[in-house]
Amino acid sequence: MIKKLNETTDYLISKGFDTPEIGIILGTGLGNLVDDIKIEAEVSYNHIPHFPTATVEFHKGKLIFGTLEEKKVMVMQGRFHFYEGYSLSEVTYPVRVMEKLGVKKLLVSNASGSINLDYKKGELMLIDDHINLLGDSPLAFAGVEKLGERFVDMSRPYDTEINEILQESAKKNNIILHKGVYASVLGPQLETRAEYRMLKIFGADAVGMSTVPEVIVANQLGLPVSAISVITDEGDPDNLKPVDISEIIAMAAKAEPNMIKLFKEVVKSI
């Protein structure tokens, strides 16, 4: 993997990706932050050596470099998922590339369903902790110790300092920002009533199909990371309504301006 990482980073440097400070991963329906970036370089994933290709139709599949709030940022407009058939090493490969290019902080967004029924559609949740229900780890492969510690401490996977900035920004801007536990499941099917009940017993406040692998690798690399979930649907097992993916995308778009505002403020502050 080290050889592949060198080839990928050399390619991106040749395309103008020059020492980014902050990495940003934009989740389902949350790609419009790039409109606020002064773009200096962008490359489609399928042109980047050793990069997976986004196969989900509502993920743009572009890597973008530019300036946001006077900081150099590297942005994934669309991410990869375990359910697309990639290994978790492939899903998290871009995080390793970001760190190798010089990224010092990582911000992540996703769309999720609420388990905690106090969290409503269109609101945001700051991830304070997570539960990995993917049945795998992005660190479970031979030679991982060449890339960092194999037995990574996960007692505080999300950066306290960045989280505090996000909470203060939300308060200042009158944005509802819950704080809770995110459960990551394989998908791509949504949860049954029994699964929602199980997740509540486990202590999850929201559930989705991403983010945790990237956060694990960020911790292995010593990369401070913070993540926000946009609540796009509500998992009430006693009143569960069919969910249409187009409704999830529409709800993500409705909540996206608040997420963008918080991400811009934290970029300015860190």
Report the pLDDT value the prediction gives residue 55, as an integer from 0 to 100: 62
Partnered with residue 31 across adjacent β-strands are none
Residue type, 259: M
In the predicted model, is pLDDT for residue 60 greater than 70?
no
Say which residue the tokens 């991830």 belong to.
127
**Predicted pLDDT at 22:** 98
Residues 2-269, CATH architecture = 3-Layer(aba) Sandwich (3.40)
Whether the predicted pLDDT of 56 surpasses 70 = no
- Per DSSP, which regions of 7-70 are E strands? 22-26, 38-44, 62-68
* Residue written as token pair 């967004």: 109
Looking at residue 252, its pLDDT comes to 86
**Alpha helix (H) residue ranges in 71-183:** 88-91, 93-101, 160-172
Helix axes of 2-14 and 93-101: crossing angle, nearest 10 degrees: 60
Q: Report pTM.
A: 0.95
Please tell me the distance from the alpha carbon of residue 60 to that of residue 41, in angstroms, as a whole number. Answer: 15
Say whether pLDDT at 196 is over 70.
yes
Cβ(206)–Cβ(113) under 8 Å?
Answer: yes
